Chain A
Amino acid sequence: MTAQHPMVRLAGVAKRFTKGKEMISIFDHLDLAIPRGDFIAVMGPSGSGKTTLLNLLGGIDRADAGEITVADQRIDGLSEGELAAWRAANIGFIFQFYNLMPMLTAAQNVELPLLLTRLRKKERAERVQTALSVVGLADRMKHRPREMSGGQQQRVAIARAIVSDPNLLLCDEPTGDLDRQSADEILSILQLLNGELGKTIVMVTHDPAAANYAKRVLHLDKGRFVERELAA
């Protein structure tokens, strides 16, 4: 693990939720460093804080205390507007249920993050083409989500996540809704993105088979990490 300039650094992060009159502490004093180019699987029982961790790393939820640094940027003090711009430039999200826009074609779904850039139409089209080629769907550009299988939809979602060339990919149960074969295809693509393109990936999963595709597995339990190294 590289201690200097990690892609992700959490220092003393605390996160609490209020449920009725009860205060639930998810993290009390969480520290974490993820080097650039790492591929981490985060596992743990339900309610252990896996998704909360992804939310904090992606700047879509705020910590109650501590510092969060991603790609050399402290994000815990950014405003909502600054966080939105930061997410657009640095983070790619992949969800369990793909979350594609049903009325848009595959190409249009992939183009969405590029609407936030100053790229011209032609440049956007080239990037969309490249991203869909990476996930093997260059021939399905004009298909709408309902015309594609779950695995294909998730591949479109991956293309959408990488099209703006983000520093960090955050994946929340990316294979949770897929059969084994489709899941393996998706995980292979993630491995390719990590190995060939050097993308840093944090993937939350319940599936040990999926975790095996990662370089490291972090077990999260009661707000603390237990690490297990895997063969690369």
Chain B
Amino acid sequence: MNDFDLVRKNLFRRKLRASLMIISILIAFMIFGVLAGFYRAFTAGEDRAAADRMITVNKINFTQPMPIAYFNRVKAVDGVRQVTFANWFGGYYQDPKNFIMALAIEPNTYFDVYRSEFEVPPDQLQAFIRDRGSAVVGEKLAQKWGWKIGDRVPLNSNIFSQKSGGHTWDLTIAGIVKGKAEHVDTNFLLFQYPYFDETRSFGKDTIGWMILQTTSPENNDRVAKTIDAMFANSTAETSTDTEKAFGKAFAAQFGNIALIVLLVVGAAFVTILMIVGNTMALSIRERTREIGVLKTLGFSGPRILTMVLGESVLLALLGGIPGLAIAALIAMALRNSLANVAPAFAVSPTIALQGLALMIALGLITGIIPALNAMRLKIATALGRG
């Protein structure tokens, strides 16, 4: 036997009470894990945004189009290394519930701007550029639907229609796009803007947004100001910002995720803190006499303090670790169905570490008052002698 055994046996002396406390903590950390996973998913792009990449959108908001003529004008701005553009398609496959993240892109420049994230074999990229009716598909999406090069994919839009009246664009898969790192999401389909623009029934010669790469992040401010000044007082004024700021603004469309996480986790934590703290205090009060006996035997005050704190931290870990594990399982189970909305949804090692730190903090906070009381307890008082 050692002090840890003593701590463990004390914790489980009332099994029902200990189990209920563990379940409460488990639920709190499960909520924490899931919400933190969502938060990570919504801010993942923001974290991985390249410093030298900027986004130009319509100043009203990013859903409003801009004239395609802007593309060449931006390309000519001093400090811009490369520019590309994209247009939201609102795609789905076979059934509207099978949402596809589909973009009509400028085929010659898109993969140059995103060369640090994506790679397409040169022959496949050339085939894509050559064939106006082709598409390249992200590896994950191709795996999801079992698509391979040469397949004909009827892609539907819930926004656009063809001049002929139909909503379906038949595309031939010319290449598979791979991410250069594990975290890069490849759940998308990209096809040629010229083909899209030529066939759609409205919005001709407009684009959704431009992605530009500056010659250096130091030029970002100047480039942004130049571009926005260039289109000031036009029918489509622009707003140019870094990719990180754009990502953050995009995430904000879903509400203030951080605030939601903070409020929900905070409320759960405060409630659990009070319940566990009160139960711990009650549990220690019930053992006043035994603590007196331990002190009589020679256990010092600091050692008793450590044991009580150890008990509350152990309790937090026993509830928290399975809670996070369940959150991780939930994230894994939902990952496919949420791939389009929150592709990076997962309980990452960082979240696990944050959770672990929170568990220890929870244990220390709930245990500190009972532990201090136990440490200061007078033996004669504890034993009812004197």
List chain A positions with a Cβ less than 8 A from chain B: 17, 51-52, 54-55, 58, 60-61, 80-81, 84-89, 93, 95, 99, 101-104, 108, 111-113, 115-116, 160, 172
Contacts and interface: CB of A to CB of B under 8 A. Distances in A.
Given A51-B386, A55-B386, A60-B380, A93 B297 contact: yes
A115 B298 CA distance: 10
A159 to B, nearest CB: 13
A108 B301 contact: no
Contacts of A116: 297-299
Given A51-B386, A61-B386, A112-B294, A102 B13 contact: yes
A103 B11 CA distance: 10
A93 B1 contact: no
Contacts of A172: 385
B3, B6, B296, B380 pick with most chain A CB within 10 angstroms? B296
Interface in B1-39: 1-3, 5-6, 9-10, 12-13
Contacts of B383: 95, 99
A88 B298 contact: yes
A119 to B, nearest CB: 12
Contact of B10 (A52, A80, A85, A103): A103
A60 B294 contact: no
Given A51-B386, A61-B386, A103 B9 contact: yes
A115 B4 CA distance: 11
Given A51-B385, A60-B380, A61-B380, A81 B9 contact: no
A113 B298 CA distance: 7
Contacts of B299: 84, 88, 116
A81 B297 contact: no
B301 A113 contact: no
9 contacts: A51-B386, A60-B380, A61-B380, A84-B299, A85-B298, A86-B298, A93-B296, A93-B297, A113-B297
Contacts of A86: 298
Nearest to A161: B297
Given A60-B296, A93-B297, 15 more contacts: A55-B385, A58-B296, A80-B300, A81-B302, A84-B295, A85-B298, A86-B298, A88-B297, A88-B299, A101-B293, A104-B1, A111-B1, A113-B297, A115-B6, A172-B385
B290 interface: yes
Contact of B3 (A17, A58, A108, A115): A115
A115 B289 contact: no
B379 interface: yes
Nearest to A128: B1
Contact of B300 (A51, A60, A85, A104): A85
Contacts of B302: 81
A85 B298 CA distance: 6
Contact of A80 (B301, B385, B386): B301
A116 B307 CA distance: 14
Contacts of A52: 386
Nearest to B300: A84
B298 A84 contact: yes
A160 B296 CA distance: 12
A61, A84, A101, A104 pick with most chain B CB within 10 angstroms? A84
Contacts of B380: 55, 60-61
Nearest to A84: B300
Interface in B333-360: none
A55 B67 CA distance: 92
Nearest to A88: B298
A162 to B, nearest CB: 12
B385 A115 contact: no
A108 B289 CA distance: 18
A172 B295 CA distance: 16
Nearest to B376: A80
B301 A81 contact: yes
Contact of A99 (B1, B12, B293, B300): B293
Nearest to B294: A112
Nearest to A157: B293
Interface in B222-276: none
B149 to A, nearest CB: 66
Interface in B284-332: 289-290, 293-302
Contacts of B295: 60, 84
A89 B385 contact: no
B173 to A, nearest CB: 66
Nearest to A17: B386
Interface string B62-90: 00000000000000000000000000000
A-B CB proximity, top 6 nearest: A88-B298, A60-B379, A84-B300, A103-B13, A103-B9, A99-B293
A101 B298 CA distance: 15
B1, B6, B290 pick with most chain A CB within 10 angstroms? B1
